[in-house]
Amino acid sequence: MIRPQLEDIEKVAKINNGKGLKYSILTMGCQQNENDSEKLSGMIEKMNYTKTENLAEANLIVFNTCCVRENAEDRLFGKLGEVKKYKEEKGTIIAIGGCMMQEKHIVEKLKESYPFFDIVFGTHTLHQFPTDLYKVLSNYKKIEDILDIDGEVIEGLPIKRDDNIKASVTIMNGCNNFCSYCIVPYVRGRERSRLPKDILNEINELAKQGYKEVTLLGQNVNSYLRVEREQNKKFEEYEGVNSFATLLRAINKIDGIERIRFISPHPKDFTDDVIEAIRDCEKVCKLVHLPLQSGSTNILKVMNRKYSKEDYLNLVDKMREKIPNVTFSTDIIVGFPGETEEDFNDTLDVVKKVHFEQVYMFIYSRRVGTPGDKMENQIPEDIKHERFEKLKKLVEDEISISNKQYVGSIQTVLIEGKSKNNDNMLTGRTDSNKVVVVDASEDLIGKMVKLKIVSEHMWYLKGKVV
């Protein structure tokens, strides 16, 4: 971490010392956004705030925003309306950060309609949060701390993780793909990979602390270090790591870590070395999240995805051939501009052919500044919703068929804790990321346990210790 911020953490900690202050953080985006919130929490707790879920008692409320779809925006504005009264009643500090703050029109709207905020900060200035907060506490007015240029990869931020068995580790920031529907490259900047040494040190440390599972995060994880290689940028290799495949192999050797997951890879970058690493590394889960977006070659082309329906299906076949027990999950968008019934049927066709374990389904949402937003052939809302419901029905049927195949099988499950819905039961996940609940003793928490699956339900399986 950078020195001035460390000093500002100290300064704020001193101001707050003994005051019993509390903070709340509202995380509104993807797993990378959650990982950023863990870093914000790490910094905030070092500044003498303790966490509360109750917004009314918080002295500092931080919003970590997302802008990938319109509903994320609606949620922020709704919540801001709610916290206004706390600001007025007790002077709660309101900080708004994350992806949405990289959009100029949003910051303008905030200033106009929600001018009671104290700090806005973007994705490239997250590490400066202690400095921003120090300025607010020493009576500066409002802080706008947003940069349009790509932030450096900052190492060594304090972190307060949400879980003590599973941990997320960001391996790269940004995205270079510019899929035509997507805002992420505009708000997260260009691809920048963390150094192998920093990632491996972090995971070694997690293993020492007793973590069992790591999820490697990035917008396009299988292009890890690719930009650096292509531009002949010097980077320090460490334990032979110079690509995503070699990174998986190195993490696989770390004692104590039992499971490795990653999201999201891009189908166009799924090279054989990555497929072979998944096959060879016993700790790498055999569930591959392979975002499809659309099953239509025409739509994929306009989306700028750089693969066709056939390429996708061939890749799935190749992985099925090479990786025993491989399973798939995916992301799908319905109602992209110009999507015809025929295009949509191609999407349904891929879903029928691949038999995904899990499908994250989205209705296309226009994002200001993306090519998709400027396309004239937008699909009417009612048709988008009709298609969404049709896809959802198919996916539910597929999942119920897939769940039935688990009954009677033995699965290795990492037990994560008590079930949220039933305190007497434990919950965990299979390699293929299916939730399993089991009636077993609490000392199994954090362990990999063999369970026999005895029944299936839409969103979980029930297991028995064998």
Which positions lie near ligand F3S, rule CB under 6 A?
Answer: 29-30, 32-33, 66-68, 99, 184, 187-188
- Strands ordered across the beta sheet of 327-334: 287-289, 327-334, 358-363
Query: ∠ CA 450-452-455 to the nearest 5 degrees?
Result: 140
Count of residues in contact with ligand SF4, rule CB under 6 A: 10
Interface positions, 262-281, toward ligand SF4 (CB under 6 A): 266
CA 118, 121, 126, 131 torsion-angle sign: negative
Q: Does 161 bind ligand SAH (CB under 6 A)?
A: no
What is the four-CA torsion angle of 63, 65, 69, 70, rounded to 10 degrees?
A: 40
Closest approach, Cβ 342 to ligand SAH, in A, equals 21
The amino acid at residue 188 is: R
Q: Which is nearer to ligand F3S, 92 or 370 (CB)?
A: 370
DSSP reduced 3-state for 379: coil
- Which residues share a beta bridge with 328? 288
User: What is the C-alpha R_g of the chain?
Assistant: 23
Could you tell me if 244 and 281 are in contact, meaning their C-beta atoms sit under 8 angstroms apart?
no
Q: Does 179 bind ligand SF4 (CB under 6 A)?
A: yes
Structure tokens at 174: 């940004």
CA–CA distance, 45 with 68 (Å, rounded to integer): 29
What is the four-CA torsion angle of 338, 344, 345, 347, rounded to 10 degrees?
A: 130
189 binds, among ligand F3S, ligand SAH, ligand SF4, none (CB under 5 to 8 A by kind): none
Q: Which is nearer to ligand SAH, 182 or 351 (CB)?
A: 182
Q: Which is nearer to ligand F3S, 75 or 197 (CB)?
A: 75
Q: Does 32 bind ligand SF4 (CB under 6 A)?
A: no
Could you tell me if 420 and 381 are in contact, meaning their C-beta atoms sit under 8 angstroms apart?
no
Q: Does 185 bind ligand SF4 (CB under 6 A)?
A: yes
Interface positions, 315-334, toward ligand SAH (CB under 6 A): 331, 333
Stretch that binds ligand SF4, among 49-57, 176-184, 333-341, 446-454 (CB under 6 A): 176-184
362 binds, among ligand SF4, ligand F3S, ligand SAH, none (CB under 5 to 8 A by kind): ligand SAH
* Chain centroid offset of residue 294 CA: 20
Q: Which is nearer to ligand SAH, 225 or 440 (CB)?
A: 225
Q: Does 419 bind ligand SAH (CB under 6 A)?
A: no
Stretch that binds ligand SF4, among 59-67, 173-181, 254-262, 341-349 (CB under 6 A): 173-181
Could you tell me if 275 and 319 are in contact, meaning their C-beta atoms sit under 8 angstroms apart?
yes
The amino acid at residue 175 is: C
Structure tokens at 380: 């009417």
Pairing of strands 143-145, 448-456: unpaired
Alpha helices in 117-158 (DSSP H): 129-137
Site string for ligand SAH, 275-294 (x = CB under 6 A): ----------------x-x-
Stretch that binds ligand SAH, among 108-116, 164-172, 318-326, 364-372 (CB under 6 A): 364-372
CA 43, 44, 47, 49 torsion-angle sign: negative
Nearest to 455 by CA among 434, 431, 440: 434
Q: Which of 40, 68, 315, 359 binds ligand SAH (CB under 6 A)?
A: 68
Closest approach, Cβ 55 to ligand SAH, in A, equals 27
Residue-wise over 138-161: b if at least 16 C-beta within 10 A, else e?
Answer: eeeeebebbeeeebeebeebbbbb
Q: Which of 182, 195, 260, 379 binds ligand SAH (CB under 6 A)?
A: 182
- Which residues share a beta bridge with 358? 329
Q: Does 219 bind ligand SAH (CB under 6 A)?
A: yes
Closest approach, Cβ 148 to ligand SAH, in A, equals 21
DSSP class of residue 126 equals G
367 binds, among ligand F3S, ligand SF4, ligand SAH, none (CB under 5 to 8 A by kind): ligand SAH
CA–CA distance, 174 with 220 (Å, rounded to integer): 9
Stretch that binds ligand SAH, among 154-162, 179-187, 229-237, 393-401 (CB under 6 A): 179-187
Closest approach, Cβ 87 to ligand SF4, in A, equals 34
Q: Does 61 bind ligand SAH (CB under 6 A)?
A: no
DSSP class of residue 196 equals H
Interface positions, 220-259, toward ligand SF4 (CB under 6 A): 220
Q: Does 177 bind ligand SF4 (CB under 6 A)?
A: yes
Contact positions vs ligand SF4 (CB under 6 A):
175, 177-179, 182, 184-185, 219-220, 266
Question: Which residues here bind ligand SAH, judged by CB under 6 A?
Answer: 68-69, 181-182, 184, 219-220, 264, 266, 291, 293, 331, 333, 362, 364-365, 367
